[in-house]
Amino acid sequence: MSTNRLGKGLEALIRSKEEQFNEKNNDGKNSSSNILEIDLKNIFTNPNQPRKIFKESSIEHLKESISSKGVLSPITVREVGEKFEVIAGERRFRASKASGKKTIPAYIIKVQNDSDMLELALIENIQRENLNPIEEAKAYEKLSLKFKMSHSKIAASVGKSRVYVTNMIRLLKLPDKILQSLIKNEITSGHARAILQLKMPNLMLRLWKRILADSLSVRASETLVKEFVFETSIIKPKLKPPNRQKIKEDNHLENDLIEIFGTKVKLKKLKRGGTIEISFFSSDDLNRILDLLESIKK
């Protein structure tokens, strides 16, 4: 399937089909075009549908519209044996069933394989802005991992840049709490990309909580990331140590302490003994560390 066609969307793809769907009897109905009224009981949904969340209120609103005015825009399906699988328009399909209708108008197109199915469903949802960022990211990831498509090819298929596709897939590295927050629109993809710069899950979660508590903008979040990076030195490039084994052991100890306290910890070894410096960035941060030390003492 041509990525140029895919990038232009479903309608262009349908129009570009050189071979229209053959005239065929479907529950007693004949048609000379590839739009047919199909019995709803002969249609099933696509298990690879990128969109996983369908709001009940949205379905209910569409059901009322369909009951009043009918389905104004046909869904798109492919023929599978004697039945039909939804490529695009699952919300209209669900609402039509809920409204009590028996049939629905549908474009019937020939799709050769599941990767083309996913591409078409993804394009339709992106063009209608139906997907949340995580649904979109998971669809790109599936095209990449399951169907072995490069990020560049995915980008060409959906009319996005390669960098955009890569950055969307990276969002899936976020802790689950942050992913759910993104799905609920509590934060934006811009916030999520800023959080990703911190690498460590505990720091990601700390920044996420600050964003929610203080209603930080994306720019303010990026500024805070720079402060975190500067203070913790977690993602600074490591210089080549003069004594690799000693530095490796010290770094290992420091990383263990950073993991325990969730903040910058500096270990300084002297000839006799040494010091441990624990950094804090606010009164709340200090109280958290004191509570942690108190629990260790007990």
Q: How far is CA 142 from the centre of its chain?
A: 11
Give the phi and the psi of residue 118 in degrees, each rounded to 5. Answer: -65, -40
Q: How far apart are CA 14 and CA 20, in angstroms?
A: 9
8 Å CB contact between 277 and 268 = yes
3-class secondary structure, 99:
helix
Q: What letter does residue 29 receive in the DSSP assignment?
A: B
Q: Which of 289, 287, 224 is nearest to 263 (CA)?
A: 289
Strand positions, DSSP E, 194-245: none
Q: Which two tokens stand for residue 114?
A: 């599941």
Q: Of 85, 90, 135, 136, which is the active-site residue?
A: 90
- Whether 186 is catalytic: no
Positions marked catalytic: 90
